[in-house]
């Protein structure tokens, strides 16, 4: 029986990943360079400290030093403006509402820090729906390590085989695999272009199936069906 849903945040509840990538690529193009998705992809779903340095990479491409502060401020301003326009992704609010009605426990497990996650959840009016919020501030190793999901299970007091992870990125899916939790991949427009076939189930969005039907499908998969 499923007793808990563990939500990723970036790219799953709202699409913060596409604005971040699009605006870094814009900055690169302003300097006569490009940032292919394949180069950026390994960073998606990881903690900021674990990412490659986009400014150092830009400098290596153009062969000169740049004004780091100016570039960081420009990219952050561009990205924040786009993120502020992002709606809650399709089906997320309905899934949360249904989960609450069914008595499921809810957690967020994100490789971002609490200030980022908590700030956006508050702005979106969602923070009060979650029983636990586990972020990069709470663990030594973020995704693709399993630590965030294991911390969320501990906070909810639910075993791995009674939880479902909702994720959008390859790194997040790997983290759920390593934690031994059934994982549903729900990609956004950026992560849909990445390899997600290590998920137990892939949906185009959370709106594709009502939560009760999704839980029925998961139960069938766990029982050995198709």
- Residues with catalytic annotation? 8, 10
Q: Side by side, which strands form the sheet with 4-7?
A: 132-134, 105-109, 4-7, 163-167, 182-185, 201-202
Burial 80-102 (b: 16+ CB within 10 A, else e): eebbeebebbebbbebbebbeee
Decide if 175 contacts 143 (C-beta within 8 A): yes
What are the structure tokens assigned to 84, written together?
A: 């502020």
């Amino acid at each position: 029986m499923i007793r808990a849903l563990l939500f990723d945040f970036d790219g799953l509840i709202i699409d913060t990943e596409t604005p971040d990538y699009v605006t870094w690529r814009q900055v690169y193009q302003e300097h006569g360079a490009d940032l292919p998705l394949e180069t950026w992809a390994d960073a998606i779903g990881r903690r900021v400290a674990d990412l490659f340095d986009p400014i150092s990479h830009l400098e290596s491409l153009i062969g000169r030093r740049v004004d780091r502060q100016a570039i960081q401020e420009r990219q952050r301003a561009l990205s924040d403006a786009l993120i502020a326009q992002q709606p809650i992704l399709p089906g997320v609010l309905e899934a949360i509402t249904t989960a609450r009605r069914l008595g499921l426990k809810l957690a967020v497990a994100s490789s971002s820090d609490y200030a980022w996650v908590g700030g956006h959840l508050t702005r979106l009016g969602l923070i009060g729906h979650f029983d636990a919020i586990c972020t990069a501030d709470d663990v030594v190793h973020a995704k693709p390590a399993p630590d965030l999901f294991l911390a969320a299970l501990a906070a909810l007091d639910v075993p791995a085989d009674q939880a479902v992870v909702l994720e959008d990125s390859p790194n997040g899916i790997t983290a759920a695999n390593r934690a031994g939790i059934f994982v549903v991949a729900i990609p956004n427009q950026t992560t849909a272009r990445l390899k997600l076939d290590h998920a137990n189930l892939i949906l185009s969005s959370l709106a594709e199936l009502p939560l009760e039907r999704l839980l029925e499908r998961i139960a069938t998969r766990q029982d050995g069906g198709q």
